[in-house]
Structure 1
Amino acid sequence: MKNFSIVVLLLSTIIWGCDKSASTATSGGKQVAGRIVFVNTDTLLSQYDYYKDVIKSSENKRFRLETDISNKAKNFQNKVAFFQQKVQQGGLTQEQGQTAQAQLQQEEQAIMAFRDKSAQDLAKEDAKKTEDILNNIQAFLKEFNAGDKYDMVIGYSKGGGVLFAKEDLDITNAVLEGLNKKYAEDKKSGKVATDTTAKK
C-alpha cells in the first residue's frame, strides 16, 4: 500500500545509536567486527508478522469501504433514474419535483462527505499504524542492545544510502525473530490486536 511504503523509506534512513562500551559483538554465531551493524528493512517488513497483519487489516477495511460506497452510489443512481422517469411521465408536480431534487442533492452530498471522511479516517489510522510499527522496531532494538553491543544499527534497503556492507554485520534474522516472538506474545496476551477479517 502507498501509505505503508513510507515505513520502508523511514526505516531505510534510521540510524540508531547507543552509548559506547565493548569493541566487538556476536550475531548469529559470527564475530562482528566493529560496533555498527545493519538490518535489511526490505526483508524485515516482508517477514514481520505485525506489519503483514496491519497491511491485511488496512486492505480489508479499504475493500469494505469501497464496497459500501459503491452500494450507496448504486442506490443513489437508482433513485435518480426513478426520479427522472417520474418527471418524464408527468407524475410529479413542480413543487414535488423541486423537493425530490433537493433531497437527491442532499443525499449525493452526504455520500461524498461520507466517502471523504472515511478516506481521511483510514489515512489517519494508517499513519498511526506506521508510527506504531516504527516505535515497536526501535523499542525492540533498544531491548536487543541491552548489553550495549552496538553503537549503531542502520536500516538497509536496496537502492538506499548504504551501498555495501559485510554480511557478518547483518543482524536482520535475529531482529526479525525477536520482533515476531514479541508480537506473538503481545497478541496472545491481548496487548495488540489487528482487524484481519477476511474480505466478504
Structure 2
Amino acid sequence: MKNASLILNIVLAVAVAVLYYLHFKGTPSQETTATAVPTESKGKSIVYVNVDSLLTKYDFFKDTQKVLESKRFQLDNDLNTKGRNLQNKAAFFQQRAQTMTMDQARATEAALQKEQQELLQYRERAAQQLALDEQKKNEELYNKIFEYLKKYNKENKYEFVLGYTKGGGILFADAPNDVTKKVLEGLNKDYKSTQETVKK
C-alpha cells in the first residue's frame, strides 16, 4: 500500500512539473500563431439581418400586407352580408311556417339548408384562395430578399447572412454585424424603381 502511494505521489509530481514547464515556457509557437491569424484577418464573414425590422420597414412587405388585409376585409364583409341574408330568410320562414303547407315548408327548409351549405363552401374556397395569395406573396418576398442579398454579397463576400429574430435560433447577435439598415435601403430602392417602371 505504501509503494502504491509513493508511485502515485511521484506521478503527480512529474505531472505538476510538466504543467509548470508548459505554462511558463515563454512565447507561443509559430504553429499556434499561424492558426490564430486567419480567424482574425477574415473579418466579418458572418453578418445578420434583423427580420422583424426588415418586415416592418420593407415597402414591398407593407404594400403586400395592405393588399391582403383589404382582401380579408372584403371577404369578411361579403360573408357577413351573405350570412345576414340567410338569417333573415330563416327568420321569415319561421314566422310563415304555420301558414305554409307541409310540402311548402319542406321545400323552403331544403332551399335554406342548400343555401347554408353553399355559403359554407364559398367561405372555405375563399379562405383557401386567400391562403394561396398569402403563400405566393410570402414566396415573392423571400425571393426578392434572397436575390437582393446575392447581389449585395457580390461586393461584401460574406460567408453567411443570418436572419435574426428575438426568441429565434440565434441567441445573441453583436450590433456591428447588423447589416439590416443597408439591406433595407437597397431593397426599398429596388422596389421603388420597379414600382416606377410599372407606373410608366
Deviation, 1:66, is 0.6
Deviations 1:9-45 (A, max 9, x none): xxxxxxxxxxxxxx66xxxxxxxx2311111111111
Q: How many residues align?
A: 159
Structure 2: distance between partners of 1:135 and 1:180:
14
Show the counterpart of 1:151.
Answer: 159
Q: Supply the AA of the counterpart residue of 1:129.
A: K
For the 8 Å contact 2:164–2:173, the answer to whether it is kept is no
Gap runs ≥5 in structure 2: 1-40
Deviations 1:41-93 (A, max 9, x none): 111111011111111111111111011100101111111111111113x1x22
The answer to which structure has the higher strand fraction is 1
Deviation, 1:154, is 0.7
1:56 counterpart (66, 85, 91): 66
Provide TM-score, normalisation by structure 1: 0.75
Show the counterpart of 2:116.
Answer: 108
In the TM superposition, structure 1's runs of 4+ consecutive aligned residues that sit over 4 Å from their partners are none
The answer to which structure has the higher helix fraction is 2
What is the CA RMSD across the aligned residues, in angstroms? 1.6
Deviation, 1:148, is 5.1
Show the counterpart of 1:98.
Answer: 106
Deviations 1:94-129 (A, max 9, x none): 211111111111111111111111011111111111
Deviations 1:118-144 (A, max 9, x none): 011111111111111111100100011
Report the structure number with the largest CA radius of gyration.
2
Structure 1: distance between partners of 2:85 and 2:193:
45
Show the counterpart of 2:84.
Answer: 74
Provide TM-score, normalisation by structure 2: 0.75
Gap runs ≥5 in structure 1: 1-22, 25-32, 192-200
1:87 counterpart (94, 97, 103): 97
- Structure with more contact order per residue of length (Cα contacts < 8 Å, sep ≥ 6): 1
